[in-house]
Amino acid sequence: MKRYRNLSRFAIFSLVIVLLACPLSGCATDNTSADSLDDQLISAAVKQQQIRKATKKRKYANYAAADSRPVTLNPSTQPVRAIYVSSHVANGKRMNALIDLVKQTELNAMVIDINSGVSLVATEGKGSKAKNYKKLVWSNKRSAQHFREVIKKLKNENIYLIARIVTFKNPELARAVPAWSLKRKNGKTWTDRSGTPWIDPYRQDAWEYPLALAEKAVEIGFDEIQYDYVRFPENAAKVDREVAYDNEEGWKKSEAISKFLHRANLRIHKSGARVSADVFGLVGSTDDDMGIGQSWSAIAREVDVISPMIYPSHYSQGMWGIANPDLSPGPIITRALKDTVKRNRKLNEKGIATAKVRPWLQGFTAGWVHPHQTYKAAQIREQILAARKAGFYSYMIWNSSNKYPKINT
């Protein structure tokens, strides 16, 4: 690619020399000559663009072949009841208490971060970890070594392990390889309102990093890979006005997301683990992709497990006739899950196999919502029982501080 950029610079440099020489040498100044020169430059630019496209097409040829292969879904036959654990907490003193919590309750699984917080991977050779994603190795830092020991301990306790990979909202990766980040129309890196850069979900070369990271996680004992933030940024209308997507394939957003997950399914199943994806709660209740590329009908056919984040606090007042959703966790969970049943049934009636639904439930207090309530054991239990009544026996509980009460239903 550098070679082609140099050719372009040479063409422009040559044009400048010609134009400067014209007053001295009596160059023709008629419109025909000018048009001819313009045509030559345009033709050269077109050829360079064609070369770039051909190079990229060859690069993605193997990807396209993989995308054409059908996926086989492999959901767990046993209920999975999990809590979320950050990598910091997993590597700290509180982890023993969380293990005890799982052993003393109906919980049997943990969702653990592997690409935020503690640095778990490194690369062979020089360069950033992102640029050498194909050579990912587990870091020999003390924190990474301890993390691997924790995973061994959890396996010995027969705890089902889910590796959470933050996919496209990955500022560390975006800064390591700026070419992979979402770009503004002026070519500068785009950031969301919190100043966070994102990976462009259309960039297929950027997909390789979370796929390779997943394979490394399976190596040390994870049973399932869960892709979170597997979407485009929210506030789609505003983002679309600001961003120049690298979308030479001409895909819709939902196509990019489903194709990534399709590829993940093929790769991770080969490694011996399952694949899951987190989606917004409303994705299970709407026909479109909400402007973020998360379409239920597209994602549910590509992964083993689909996990809508149906936190009551995240629904607006009056949703489904419920005045204050945060105060009514049971009814919200019931209605949200009924909608997912309808979504899957429509696909099943067409002969399409669908992912098992394992919802994220609210284990935190949403103090920014008015009115709100403190979420303790009773509120969490109400959600679990509502899900069970709707026919769902698997669930995950989210609390970013990783503080959970003892829950038995």
375: which DSSP letter? -
Residues 6+ positions from 393 with CB-CB distance below 8 Å: 79, 387
- Residues 230, 339, single domain; the answer is yes
Structure confidence at residue 331 (pLDDT): 98
In a domain, 61, yes or no: no
369-397: average pLDDT: 97
- Residues 166, 306, single domain; the answer is yes
| pLDDT tens digit sequence for 200-217 | 999 999 999 999 999 999
pLDDT exceeds cutoff 50 at 96: yes
pLDDT exceeds cutoff 90 at 16: no
- The pLDDT-based confidence of 67 (bands split at 50, 70, 90) is confident
Q: Between these two residues, 46 and 357, which has the higher pLDDT value?
A: 357
366-371: average pLDDT: 96
**What 3-state class would DSSP assign to 380?**
helix
Is the Cα torsion angle 319, 325, 331, 336 positive or negative in sign? positive
133-142, 174-183, 281-290, 382-391: least confidently modelled range: 133-142
In a domain, 393, yes or no: yes
In a domain, 233, yes or no: yes
The answer to whether the beta carbons of residues 161 and 222 sit under 8 Å apart is yes
Is the Cα torsion angle 130, 134, 138, 141 positive or negative in sign? negative
Burial (CB count within 10 angstroms: exposed 0-12, middle 13-18, buried 19+), residue 288: exposed
pLDDT more than 70, % of the chain = 81
Q: Which domain holds residue 260?
A: 81-398
Structure confidence at residue 338 (pLDDT): 98
pLDDT exceeds cutoff 70 at 349: yes
In a domain, 76, yes or no: no
- Residues 236, 383, single domain; the answer is yes
| pLDDT tens digit sequence for 232-254 | 999 999 999 999 999 989 999 99
- The secondary structure element, H or E, covering residue 136 is strand 136-138
- Residues 50, 139, single domain; the answer is no
The answer to whether the beta carbons of residues 172 and 165 sit under 8 Å apart is no
Report d(CA 267, CA 239) in Å as an integer. 31
Structure confidence at residue 122 (pLDDT): 73
Highest mean pLDDT among 2-16, 17-31, 245-259: 245-259
In a domain, 66, yes or no: no
The answer to whether the beta carbons of residues 103 and 157 sit under 8 Å apart is yes
Residues 6+ positions from 86 with CB-CB distance below 8 Å: 112, 113, 116, 117, 400, 402
Q: How many residues does the chain have?
A: 409
Distances (CA, A) of 178 to 123, 183, 188, 360: 18, 9, 9, 32
> How far does CA 294 lie from the centroid of its chain?
10
In a domain, 404, yes or no: no
The answer to whether the beta carbons of residues 110 and 162 sit under 8 Å apart is yes
State the chain's mean pLDDT as an integer. 87
- Residues 307, 345, single domain; the answer is yes
- Residues 161, 295, single domain; the answer is yes
The two three-digit tokens of residue 403, written as one number = 């503080």
pLDDT exceeds cutoff 90 at 370: yes
pLDDT exceeds cutoff 90 at 48: no
CB burial of 4-18 (b: ≥16 within 10 Å; e: otherwise) equals: eeeeeeeeeeeeeee
Tell me the β-bridge partners of 163: 112, 225
- The pLDDT-based confidence of 230 (bands split at 50, 70, 90) is very high
pLDDT exceeds cutoff 50 at 171: yes
Query: Which residue carries 């040479």 as its tokens?
Result: 10
- Residues 163, 115, single domain; the answer is yes
6-15, 158-167, 253-262, 330-339: least confidently modelled range: 6-15
- Residues 39, 91, single domain; the answer is no
- Residues 116, 189, single domain; the answer is yes
199: which DSSP letter? B
Structure confidence at residue 6 (pLDDT): 46
Structure confidence at residue 23 (pLDDT): 41
pLDDT more than 90, % of the chain = 73
Alpha helices per DSSP H over 280-371: 296-299, 329-348
The two three-digit tokens of residue 142, written as one number = 């003390």
- Residues 40, 157, single domain; the answer is no
Report d(CA 329, CA 395) in Å as an integer. 14
- The pLDDT-based confidence of 15 (bands split at 50, 70, 90) is very low
- Residues 8, 95, single domain; the answer is no
Predicted TM-score (pTM) of the model is 0.85
pLDDT exceeds cutoff 80 at 22: no
Q: Between these two residues, 184 and 76, which has the higher pLDDT value?
A: 184
Residues 6+ positions from 170 with CB-CB distance below 8 Å: 115, 198, 199, 210, 229
In a domain, 323, yes or no: yes
Among residues 275, 279, 389, the alpha carbon closest in space to that of 343 is found at 279
The answer to whether the beta carbons of residues 122 and 92 sit under 8 Å apart is no
In a domain, 372, yes or no: yes
- The pLDDT-based confidence of 45 (bands split at 50, 70, 90) is low
Residue-wise DSSP of 255-288: HHHHHHHHHHHHHHHHHT-EEEEEEEGGGGG-SS
- The pLDDT-based confidence of 24 (bands split at 50, 70, 90) is very low
Angle at 140 between CA 135 and CA 403, to 5 degrees: 105
The answer to whether the beta carbons of residues 128 and 176 sit under 8 Å apart is yes
**What 3-state class would DSSP assign to 308?**
strand
- The pLDDT-based confidence of 70 (bands split at 50, 70, 90) is confident
The two three-digit tokens of residue 49, written as one number = 């663009």
47-72: average pLDDT: 68
Structure confidence at residue 20 (pLDDT): 42
- Residues 90, 17, single domain; the answer is no
pLDDT exceeds cutoff 70 at 54: no
CATH code for the domain of 338: 3.20.20.80
Burial (CB count within 10 angstroms: exposed 0-12, middle 13-18, buried 19+), residue 324: middle
Question: In total, how many domains does the chain have?
Answer: 2
Distances (CA, A) of 345 to 49, 132, 289, 301, 341: 45, 42, 18, 12, 6
